[in-house]
Every structure is written in C-alpha cells, then in structure tokens.
Structure 1
Amino acid sequence: MYSSRVNYHTARYTISAAKVSQCPTDQCAEVAFAGRSNAGKSSAINALTQQSKLARTSKTPGRTQLINFFSLKNPQGPDATPLFLVDLPGYGYAKVPVAMKLDWQAHISDYLADRQSLKGLVLLMDIRHPMTEFDQILVDWCVDAQMPLHILLTKADKVNRGPAMSLLAKLRRELGERMGDLLTIQVFSSLKKTGVEQLALQLDNWLLGPQEDSSEADTVAAE
C-alpha cells in the first residue's frame, strides 16, 4: 500500500531551464516557488526538503537566473505522475541590471502562462516587507488565472508573535475577498523550522489531491 504523503527529503536536482521550452515534459505535477530575491526562497526549499544545499543560497540576492526543477518520488508508485518542486528566478533585487530583471520577468510570465503541469504557486514574502509591487503582480496573476496560491510570510523569527498574527489575519481577510478558497497563507521561518509541516501538507494537497488531514494546512503555523 502506497503512502498518501510526499517525502520531500527525496527531492533531487533535475534540470535548469533558461526558457519554458527547456523545461521537463509538461505531463507531470509541480508546485512553483516565487518571490523577491531576498525573501528567503532557497532557504525555504532547503528547510522543506531537509537538505541544506539543495537550492542555492547566496549572500548576493538575485544570483539564480534559471528555472530550477527538483524531482520528488511519487508515493503512489514508480508509474505514477512525476512530481517536481520548481524554483523560479528571484526578482526585484535593486543591484541587478534592468535588462536582466526584464528577462527574468519574461521567464516567470511565460512559465506561469504556459505550464499546464503547474498545480499551485507558493509566493514568499518577507514578513517585515509584505505585498511589494512584484508580490501584487503575482497575486493578480493568480486571481486572473484562478491558480491556487499559498503565501509564506517568511523570516517570522524576526518579528514578535503579536504583529505576525495581526498581519496574517489582515492579509487573509483582504486577499481572501478576492481569491476565496484558492488562497492559503501562513507564517514561516526557515531558521526555526516554523511552518514546515504546514507547508508540506499544502503541497501534498496540490500534488496528490486533498488529504484526510488537509484541514491542518490552514492552521496558524506559529502555534
């Protein structure tokens, strides 16, 4: 009997694509991670997979310029649908040349518009600086495309619990009015491992279908 949970520790680097045509065959199930270059995207992927060097982290935000695919073992068996985590290029770092920013934006836009295997988007925001212009662009895209969106309010260890919960409630209320059940949101800390299990449950629901314990995915991660 196969498991109903994905073991994210099985994640392995597969390929990096400079454009959508170089991505793996579009007959799989995948979840993409997006966010500004300093939002802690690589650290979150590494925390989820329990691998400190799977996704590249750098003291120079914006270094990752490609769409990176990490394969996962499908718990439903070797003949089941291939599963991937996708690390999209970071965006918005001030020191990156404008031409490069536009190129990255084009990569992300093409991927989001054309990729049929995409089951949901994880948008990472620094909890101290949420809803930047780039974040709003991706939220708007998810609304228009009716794409499930899971927001990670990262670096939660940098703020007190009270303000974190207030921001969580505010964004859940404001964005929920536009997205309804397509939106889930949580606080997250790669350093403290806060919210890792909650994130895994949400990804399981997207990659494998709703799970019996899926109600846990919208609980407050900081509790």
Structure 2
Amino acid sequence: MSSPRIVEADFIKSAQSIADSLPEDMSEVVFLGRSNVGKSSTLNSLTNRKNLAKSSATPGKTQLINFFETRYLYNEESYPVRFVDLPGFGYAKVSKTLKEVWQRNLVEFIEHRVSIRLFIHLRDARHPHAKIDDDVEAYISEFIRPDQRYLTVFTKTDKLNQKERAKLKREFPGSITLSNLKKSGHERVHREILQTIFGVDEEERSQEELPSDRAG
C-alpha cells in the first residue's frame, strides 16, 4: 500500500473572521492549539514545505485565520483539501480588547463554518492535562456536527521517554502522537484526513511508524 503524500501546498489568504474568509467550496481541516504547541512546525512538516506556515517568535502574535490549499496524491488519485491554521489560544499578553474580538471571531468561525470536516487539536505531550485544552475539547463537543470529526494530536513527543509515551497512549487511546523532529506520526495524520473527508478506507496502518512512536 502506498503512502498518502501532499504534492501541492500553497498559502491562499489570511482572514480576520468568517466574513472575509474564503468561500466554503472545499472541505477543510482546522488546526487549533495553544500558542506554543508547534502549529506552524506541524503544518510545515505535514506539507513538506519549510516555510509554508510562518511561526512567530512571540507566541500569540499570529492573530489571523490562515488558509492553505493542499493536494494529496494517494494510489494515483488526487485529493484536494484546505488546511486552516487558527490563531493560538491561551496567551495572556494579547490586549483585552483584541482578545474579545479575536475570541468572538474565532467562535463564530469554528461553530458556523460549514466546510470544516475535521478539527485537529494539537496538544503538548509534556502537558497532556492542561485545563485550557480540556476546555476546548469540551467546547467543540457541544456543537460538532455528524459530518465533522475531532482528532487529538500530541506534539513534541520526542521530549518524552518510553514510559511517558506509553502512559500518554493509555490515557488518550484515540489520539496520535507526533514528533516533527523525528518525523513520526505524520502518515497517520494524513490517513485520518483522507479517511474523514474522502472516506478512503484505511484498514492498515503504516508499519514503519510504529517503532519510532515507541522508541526511547
């Protein structure tokens, strides 16, 4: 079985709210997470584009909704998907007024954007029980539609030892553990995206990634 891969990835535009966003003419995968969870690094790794998503030296500085159009190639079939990078949440140094507008715009986008099919919630593997992440998961569960899916992906798993990784998998059995440094977990994310949006049947998992997920 061949591996799904992204053969095209382009930044299209930034938006402040759902009002100035792109038309809802393509299925979307939304990436959300705390400001320092590594969203930009994850997007760059998944797309194999070094500077597709710009990371800011100051967490919380990227305050716009960023749209990227990508195209998968899998078993000689082409699958177009739009990736949406949401502003990081939970950073206290954003001014109160901006934070109120920011949150209102994001809430409207997350709850009412019809083209969203998959929410990928990036969580820091070193802080798996952060309250703000639990709150976001509970919030999304209140309105998620039958045609939408929520997926937890833990970043920075290379910073855990083998015992800590095993504990994480026990506590979050449906999650994916990912390391941008070791390039592990990415194929599972790709397969989940294709299965959720296009119904591509994935009964097999990449055997190559399992050892690296368990490596000490």
Aligned to 1:155: 156
Are positions 1:187 and 2:177 aligned together? Answer: yes
Alignment CA distance shift 1:87-1:193 (3 Å): same
Identify if the C-alpha distance between structure 1 residues 9 and 142 changes in structure 2 by more than 3 Å, giving closer, same or farther.
same
1:164 corresponds to which residue? 165
5+ long unaligned stretches in structure 2:
none
1:134-166, Cα deviation, whole Å (9 max, x unpaired): 312321133222441111111111110211220
Judged with a 3 Å threshold, the aligned counterparts in structure 2 of structure 1 residues 81 and 170 are, in CA distance, closer, same or farther, namely closer
Structure 1 distance, partners of 2:88, 2:94, is: 11
Q: Which amino acid aligns with 1:195?
A: G
8 Å contact from structure 2 (residues 123, 133) kept in 1: yes
Offset at 1:44?
Answer: 0.5
**CA apart distance, 1:97:** 2.2
Query: What TM-score do the two structures reach when normalised by structure 2?
Result: 0.84
* 1:45 Cα deviation from its structure 2 partner: 0.5
Q: Is contact 2:9-2:70 (8 Å) kept? A: yes
The range that moved more, 30-39 or 129-138, is 129-138
Select the structure that is richer in helix.
1
Match of 1:176 in 2: none
Give the secondary-structure state (helix, strand or coil) at the position aligned to 2:98. helix
Identify which of 95, 103, 106 aligns with 1:105. 103
5+ long unaligned stretches in structure 1: 173-183
Contact 1:142 1:148 in 2 (8 A): no
How many equivalent residue pairs?
A: 204
**In the alignment, which residue of structure 2 is the partner of 1:181?**
none
1:8-43 deviation per Cα after TM superposition (whole angstroms, max 9, x unaligned):
241100111101011111121010000000011111
Counterpart contact for 1:28–1:81, Cα < 8 Å:
no
Pair 131,21 (structure 1): closer, same or farther in 2 beyond 3 Å:
farther
Q: 1:85 aligns with which of 76, 83, 86?
A: 83
Other-structure match for 1:222: 213
Change in CA separation of 1:187 and 1:13 when aligned onto 2, cut-off 3 Å:
same
Q: TM-score, normalised by structure 1?
A: 0.82
Which residue in 2 is equivalent to 1:134? 132
Kept in 2: contact 1:33–1:121 (CA 8 A): yes
Question: For the residues of structure 2 that align with 1:133 and 1:103, how far apart are their CA atoms?
Answer: 22
Q: CA deviation at 1:74?
A: 6.1
Give distance in 2, aligned partners of 1:163 and 1:96: 33
Distance 1:142 1:200 in 2: 22
In structure 2, what is the Cα distance between the partners aligned to 1:214 and 1:97? 47
Alpha-carbon offset, residue 72 of structure 1: 1.6
Q: Partner of 1:145: helix, strand, or coil?
A: coil
Aligned counterparts, 1:54-65, within 5 A: 54-65=52-63
Alpha-carbon distance in 2 for matches of 1:67, 1:214: 34
Say if 1:29 and 1:81, in contact at 8 Å, map to a contact too: no
The DSSP-based 3-state class of the residue aligned with 1:121 is strand
Supply the AA of the counterpart residue of 2:151. Answer: H
| Residue in structure 2 matched with residue 47 of structure 1 by the alignment | 45
Q: Percent identity?
A: 32
> Does the 8 Å contact 2:31/2:121 carry over to 1?
yes
Which letter does structure 2 place at the counterpart of 1:157? Answer: D
Report if aligned partners of 1:155, 1:188 keep a CA contact under 8 Å in 2: yes
SS in structure 2 of the partner of residue 27 of structure 1: coil
